[in-house]
Amino acid sequence: MRRSATAILIGTLAVSGAGLAQAADRGRPSEPPPKTPVATGYGGAVSTVDADATAAGLSVLRRGGTAADAAVAAAAALGVTEPFSAGVGGGGFFVHYDARTGEVRTLDGRETAPATATEELFLDPATGQPLAFPDARVSGLSVGTPGTLATWDEALDRWGRFSLARNLRPAIDLAEDGFVVDETFRSQVEANAAIFADFPASAELYLPGGEPPAVGTTLPNPDLADTYRAIARHGIDLFYEGPIAADIAATVQDPPVRDDATRVVRPGDLSTDDLAAYEVVERDPTLVDYRGLQVYGMAPPSSGGSTVGEALNILESFDLAAMDEATALHHYLEASALAFADRNRYVGDPDAVDVPLAQLLSQEFADERACLLDSATAAPKPVPPGVPDGDYAECVPAGADGYAVDDAGSTTHLTTADRWGNVVAYTLTIEQTGGSGMAVPGRGFLLNNELTDFNFAPTQGSAPDPNLPGPNKRPRSSMAPTIVLDDGEPFLAVGSPGGATIIGTVLQTLINRVDRGMDLPDAIAAARLTQPNSPNTSAEPAIADGPLGAALEGFGHTLVSTPEIGAATGIEFLDHRRIQAAAEPVRRGGGSAGVVVPQRWPRP
């Protein structure tokens, strides 16, 4: 009998419960795979939200694969076990550090709108008003051309040692044999049950017997196993130009709704020509210097790199390490709001609009913005954007009205490193938890609703809106896969899911690690709050309901309690070639970190 990826990880790390996969294979209810949120050791590391995905990445590293190989293997496994956040029906951003050259490069695998898309894509033709979000999401209108498979192929061509076919093997076994359903998976199905029930292909995958699968049961996906096998055998052309492309286009253009459904599901225009024309774009990474570290991120159409970078540049003017916790977090929130104001005003697809990226990331612009940060009092939100025109004064007062633009969504993030010191930070998504809700019949994967990341109507008053839909345009994203170097050597990599909260999660994690003296596991586990230039600040209960929240309210912040924010994973390079992988201990059911050779003794 084949060993599942989880069994490989459990056996290698000598974790109790190695018989779980076998119990599942015999059809008995079982506990979900155990998750270890922190692992330290040698030879490479993987950190994801899922034990099976981490195991898949580690199995590739043990066989001599690179960080890119491990990232693809783990991502393919997440397409099985976390299909409501990632999969070949979506897209993402891939950031890579090359130990041989010392270069950080990035791949833009973001979804694209159809060639027929216009600014009126999400306007109701009958009223001229924007569609309600649920109507836009569960439709063919929301589906962009998926970029995930093309990203995997390009990443492996540049930085992999193994073929795509070889890196798909763990995920094929996982899809064929099934995985043990945990509470997070079950609850995500339950939240989407009414939508999935309207699409027979989705219901067949995720509503066995008409109900969400019970925790502890084993759920296979033979259709996805067959899809992965076909791609392994014939290459990604099968997806972008062959029969899978035809199935995707047919699903979008004629949504396969059950006959007695009352839901109105609007068709979209995504065509086989759109799929055949898709290309991954290499973009120069964003780069800022923070406290002597080089922080690399993803450039537009992601706003992650520019917004995290601008906020760090603003905070460079303040000694956060010398502040008490409430004061430091006040500065973090104010810098975040200022950077988000500029993100909302200026960032979009650079192939369609002019994004003043160099100015947004300049220290001079940040210094002009930093002078608006009152160390004692929170500014009214939303704050206005700045003017990144290269003509900077010592301090410029607030100008035009600000606009709060928030994007929801659920993604997943993974980080990998190999024995040679190569590093990957990879964030991938199908947008909303469950994407569009539409599975491609017979193919085993859900389609994204990524085009709802566009603004449905202009949001900037008389100023041009950089994020309206358009032909072949990529919607703005908040994904922020980040790699940090110290004097050119890898220091850490981090990222998170969570829509617009991604930016705050990554920014706060960096501040926790660099300024507040936390180690990486504590920096990830610490209670979070996020401020996307909104009247209210979202804060986890540990902050909102305690003395820290009261102190922040004393600065003038309005806190709204949120159960959890983000679900980060990261890797840090320690001394003596040691690597530490870290994931969430609790959020989103907890994450899974692993290393190739665990450290089995304490260091002095």
Amino acid identity of residue 372, one-letter, is: L
Per the CB < 8 A criterion, the answer to whether 444 and 224 are in contact is yes
Dihedral class, residue 545 (left if φ above 0, else alpha if ψ from -120 to 50, else beta): alpha
Residue with tokens 């916790």: 325
Cα separation, 79 vs 24, whole angstroms: 20
| Token pair belonging to 444 | 């085993």
Cα separation, 593 vs 414, whole angstroms: 10
**H or E stretch including 427?**
strand 423-429
Please say if 429 is a catalytic residue.
no
Cα separations (Å) of 162 from 63, 410, 466?
A: 10, 30, 39
Nearest residue to 310 via CA among 284, 330, 336, 291: 336
DSSP annotation string for 449-507: -GGGGS-SS--STTSPPTTS--TTPPPPB----EEEEETTEEEEEEE--STTHHHHHHH
Task: Please identify which of the residues 411, 429, 433, 530 carries the catalytic annotation.
Answer: 411
Cα separation, 160 vs 57, whole angstroms: 13
Cα separations (Å) of 411 from 20, 215, 250, 497?
A: 28, 22, 25, 4
| Token pair belonging to 432 | 């909303």
The catalytic residue positions are: 411
